[in-house]
Structure 1
Amino acid sequence: MKLRQFFRVLSVPAMVPIIVLTSCSLEDHPVQVESSTITIENVLQAQPLVESGTFKGAGTPPVILPGESVTIHFSAAKGEALSFATMYGWSNDLFFAPENPGIVVYQPDGTPIEGDVSAQIKLWDNGTRLNQAPGAAVMHPGVPDLKNIMEVVGTDAQGNAYLPVSKLMSATLKYDGSSYFTLTIKNISGGTANETPFSPGVWSVSHIAGGNLLNAAPLYSKAQPTANGLTSIAEMGDNGPLSTYIAGITGIFTPLSPILVVVYTGTESPIFKDGEADRGEGLTMLAQRGNADPLAAALKTKPNVKEVYVLHADGTNVLLPSIGGQPGGKVSQVLNLTAGDRIAVATMYGFSNDWFFISEGNGVDAAMKGDISSMMGLYDDGTAINQFPGAGITQFNLAGTPLMESKPIAPVPNPNMFTTLPPVNQMIKVTLQ
C-alpha cells in the first residue's frame, strides 16, 4: 500500500457531522515483501536435421527407370544444403549422392541457385560387396567385402567402367519462393553403357547454427564405414532403415533469446494482448531479432510496472537447447514480490521470423510456486512473413532480413503449415521458487 492514509466517508442525514476515520500508519502494518527466484530453461531436445524425407518411382516396384523422374520439395536457409542417396540399381552396392554436405542452394549473397546441379552428384561404393560388371545380370547380394565408402571415378575397385554421373542422372534445382526449392532428379541412363534404374531414396537438410551445419554428413561419410541403414539402400534399394534413422534425428532446433521478465500489477499484461496488433513498444524487436532491450525500456515507463529484467545466459548470451545430451541454457533472477504482483516472461523462438514465447493472458500470480511452464504460450507477432522454422532465408538469426506484414498477434498453430512442434513445456521451462 503506497498511501499512508485512507479515508472513508459515511453518508449521514443533514446536520449530522461527517465522521472521518484515519488509518494506522504503514509502520504498524508494513507491506510484506517476499523474495522468489524465477528460473527459465531451454529444455528442447534438439535435433540436427531440420527436414528429411523419402522419394520413389511411380511404378511397381517403385524404382525410377530410365526416362522417369522424381522431385524433392524442401525449404532451406542460407548455408543449408540438400543431401540425398539412391542406389545404382544394377550394381552390387553403389549409390548416388552429392558430395557432403550436399547441394548448397544459395550464393554467398543469399541469391537462390537454380538450374542444372548434376555436376554435384557423385557415384559412391558402399564398400560392403565386391563389384561385378554393372548391368541387369548382377547377382545380389554378391560377395561380401569390408571397405570404407569411396567415390567411384571412371572405374571401381574391380576395374569396372562407369560414365560420369552427369551422363546418367540429371539434377535440376528450381526456386519456388519463400525459401522453398524443388529438386528434380531424372534418370537419363537409358541407352548408355551404364543403363540402370535408381532405387527409392532418402533426403535431408541439416540445421545451421553460428554458420556451421549441425550434421554436415547426415547420410554417409567419405572414407568411413557405412552406417545407419545406408547398406540397405546401396545393396537392395531398400530406403526403409535409413529413412527411419534420419526421421529420428529430424526436428526442431532453436535457441531462446535473452529472457525478458517483468513484475507488474493490474488486470492486463503490459506487453501484449492476444488478437490485437503489436503495440509498437519493442515487442517486434524481441519477436523478430531477439532484442528485448527496447521493450524493457518501454515497460519501465509504465506506471503499473515495478521491475524489468533482461537475462542473458553466461557465455552464450542466448539459451541454447539440449544438444547431444548436454543440458540446455538456463538463467535465474531473484524477484522481490508483494501481494498482488504478477509476472510475465517473454523470449524469441530464435529460429523463426517473429514467433515468441510469453506468459499467456495476464501473466502469472507471483504467489504461485513451482513449475509454471503450463502458463506459457507460443505466439506469432504478425509483423514478419513466416517461413519454415530453422530453414528460412529471411529469418534474422539465420543471416536474413524479415519481410514485413501486419496481422494481429495470434497463437502459433500446432501442427502448423510447416511442421509439428513439441508441446511448449518441452521447449521452455519456467520455475518460480
Structure 2
Amino acid sequence: MKMKTLFATFVSGTVLLLTACSDPENDTLVIGDTTAEKIVTDVDGLSDDSEKKMVAQADFTVTIENVVTPKPIFQSGVFSVPVGGSGPTPLFPGDAYEFEIDAGPVVLPGDGGTRLSFVTMFVQSNDLFYAPGEEGIRLYNEDGSSICANGPVDVTDQIELWDAGTEVNESTGGPNQKPQQAAGDVDQGENEYGVVTKITNNSCTFGNVLPENEEVIKVTIENIGPAKFKVRIMNVSTGTTISVPAQGENVRAAVPLSPGVYAVHTAPAPFFVEGEAASGAGLAASSEGVENIAEDGFPEALLMDTQEATGLIVPLSPGAWATHDMNVNSFFQIDTPDFGEGLQAIAEDGVPMMLVDVLADKEGIDISEAFDTPLGASGPGAIGPGGRYQFSFSAEEGDYLSLATMFVQSNDWFYAFSSEGLSLFENGAPISGDVSEYITLYDAGTEVDEYAGAGLFQVIRQSGADSGAEDSNINVRLIDPSELGNIPDNIEVIKVSIESSLK
C-alpha cells in the first residue's frame, strides 16, 4: 500500500477512535493517561466514499533516447606558436612546436585504438606537406600500454612527405613558392587539379632533389600523465639542407615548417586520402582540404572544418527509475554526499540494481525498477547514438518521477531530473511530450574526474569496477557542459519524452 494511503487510513481510524472514547459531559478525550480538549471533526469526507475527492490517475510511457550526432574525430587543434614564441609564425631551424593531447587506448570498445595525425607545410615548395600516413601514429600498443611507457618516443620514421596535387610544382626557390611570396598572398601558382600523392625517391614531379625527412623534421611523443601526451615537432634543417636553384646556382637554404592542424582519431584518414583530390577528403571533409596549409601554411580553414568533425560520442548506461511522493529526494541531494544507496554504481559503472533494490524499501517510494534493455535488443546493454530505452507505469496526481543513467564517457557523471524529481501532473492533467529540458548532468562526487572519453579509470577503459581514486569533493553537484571543452550540451546527448493517458 502506498504511504500516503496508509497515512489517510491512519488519520481516519484515529479520529473515529477518539470520538468513540470521548466523555459527552465534559467534552474531553481520554487516551491512556492523557486528556485533551475534544476535537469536533467532520469525518464524512473520510468515511463516505461518495464524497471523496477524485484523484486523477494515468498511464505513462517514458522513452530515453541517445541523440548524440557521431563525430569521427575525438580531439583536434592547431599548433602555430613556437616554444618560447609570442605569436603564430613559421618554424625555423632549431625551433619547435609543442601541443598536448588526451587519449586513452580506445574511445569506444573495438574502435581500433587512438591515433595521432597532423599536417604541416614543407615551405620550400608549391604544395608539399609533412604528415603521417592515413592511419596515423598509434598511441598505444596492442596490449593497451602506451607507446611512451619508457619515456619520449621518436616517431619521425612514421612521417611522410606528400604532394597535395593542388598546384603545379616549380623548381625549388620558384616565384610561386611561399618564401618568395608576400606574407598574405594565397593560391598564387598554377592549378594542378591533381590528387594527393606520396613523395618517393626524394623527388617531386618537377624533378627537384628533396632532403630526407629526418633532415628537416623530428617528431617526438611523450607521456606527461595518464592518457595525456605532449607532441613536439622540431625543425632540424639547416641553412644548407636544400638546393634552391631558382634562386641561383649553388644556392642552398633551410626548410621552414608551417603552422598546422592535428587530430586524435580512431578511423583512418582524418585530413586526406592518398590518390584522391585534397578537397573534401578524409574525416574532416574540408572543402579546402589540406590545400591552404600545403600551399601557403595557413591552417585556419582546415582547423575550422576539422573541429566541425570533432566531438565526443557518449553512450548512455542502464539506469534506475522510481515514482515517489513530493519532497522525497529518492536518488540524491544536491551539494550533499552520495547517500550510499546505489547511485554510485550507476554513475561509475552503469549498474542500476543496487539502487533499485534499496529504493523498494525506501519511505515515499511507490515503484522502483531498472531500464537496461534497449528497444529491439535481446539483452541488457548501453545505448549508443539512436538507441532507446523505454518503460511504462501507472501513477496518480501528486506523484513524481526520478531516473538516473550514466554519462558513460566519465568517471562518475549521470543524467537525472532535479533531486525532487519531475511532477507527473499539472493542474490535474498528466504531463506529456519532450521533457529533456528538465534533465541535468551531475557529478556524483565519488571518483576523481579524468578527461571525458580518455580516462583510464572510466568504465570503457578501466580494468575493473570502482577502480578510480576517490574525489576530494564528495558532494553531488551540477556539471555545466559549457565550462568543459569537449562535453556536448545535455540536449545533444539525451532526449526524454513521456506519453500519457488518463485512466
TM-score tier after normalising by the smaller chain length: 0.7 to 0.9
Which structure's CA Rg is the greater one? 2
Match of 1:173 among 203, 208, 221: 221
Paired with 1:386 and 1:223, the residues of 2 have a C-alpha distance of 43
1:362 aligns with 2:420: yes
Number of the residue aligned with 2:256: 197
Paired with 1:271 and 1:107, the residues of 2 have a C-alpha distance of 41
Number of the residue aligned with 1:130: 168
For residue 358 of structure 1, what is the amino acid of its counterpart? Answer: A
Q: Write out per-residue CA displacement over residues 213-258 of structure 1, whole angstroms, 9 at most, x where no aligned residue.
A: 3x43211112222122211111121112111111212233211112
Task: Within 5 Å, give how 1:133-282 maps onto structure 2.
Answer: 133-134=171-172, 136-137=173-174, 139-140=176-177, 141-154=188-201, 155-190=203-238, 191-193=240-242, 195-206=254-265, 213=266, 215-227=267-279, 228=286, 229=288, 230-282=290-342
Paired with 1:61 and 1:414, the residues of 2 have a C-alpha distance of 29
Number of the residue aligned with 1:412: 479
Identity over the aligned pairs, expressed in percent? 28
Number of the residue aligned with 2:138: 104
TM-score of the superposed pair, with normalisation by structure 1: 0.87
Paired with 2:86 and 2:325, the residues of 1 have a C-alpha distance of 66
CA contact (8 A) 1:351 1:398 kept: no
Q: Secondary structure in 2 aligned to 1:297?
A: helix
Task: Within 5 Å, give how 1:335-346 maps onto structure 2.
Answer: 335-346=393-404
Q: Write out per-residue CA displacement over residues 68-89 of structure 1, whole angstroms, 9 at most, x where no aligned residue.
A: 1101111111121221101111
CA contact (8 A) 2:116 2:138 kept: yes
CA contact (8 A) 2:92 2:257 kept: yes
Number of the residue aligned with 1:76: 103
Paired with 1:16 and 1:60, the residues of 2 have a C-alpha distance of 91
Q: Write out per-residue CA displacement over residues 191-219 of structure 1, whole angstroms, 9 at most, x where no aligned residue.
A: 3237311111111123xxxxxx3x43211
CA contact (8 A) 2:434 2:496 kept: yes
Paired with 1:164 and 1:357, the residues of 2 have a C-alpha distance of 53
For residue 209 of structure 2, what is the amino acid of its counterpart? Answer: A
Number of the residue aligned with 1:331: 389
Structure 1 residues 93 and 309, CA gap change in structure 2 (3 angstroms) = same
Structure 1 residues 93 and 346, CA gap change in structure 2 (3 angstroms) = same
Paired with 1:174 and 1:315, the residues of 2 have a C-alpha distance of 44
Paired with 1:265 and 1:61, the residues of 2 have a C-alpha distance of 60
Paired with 2:165 and 2:338, the residues of 1 have a C-alpha distance of 58
Paired with 1:398 and 1:225, the residues of 2 have a C-alpha distance of 37
Paired with 1:109 and 1:258, the residues of 2 have a C-alpha distance of 29
Q: Write out per-residue CA displacement over residues 17-39 of structure 1, whole angstroms, 9 at most, x where no aligned residue.
A: 75895843769858653212222
1:287 CA drift (Å)? 0.9
CA contact (8 A) 1:90 1:138 kept: no
Paired with 2:337 and 2:331, the residues of 1 have a C-alpha distance of 11
Q: Secondary structure in 1 aligned to 2:124?
A: coil
Aligned length: 418
Q: Write out per-residue CA displacement over residues 94-123 of structure 1, whole angstroms, 9 at most, x where no aligned residue.
A: 111111232222223333223211111111
1:13 CA drift (Å)? 8.1
For the aligned residue pairs, the C-alpha RMSD in angstroms reads 2.7
Gaps of at least 5 residues in structure 2 are: 30-39, 106-112, 178-187, 244-253, 280-285
TM-score of the superposed pair, with normalisation by structure 2: 0.76
CA contact (8 A) 2:344 2:412 kept: yes
Paired with 2:485 and 2:25, the residues of 1 have a C-alpha distance of 73
Paired with 1:296 and 1:33, the residues of 2 have a C-alpha distance of 24
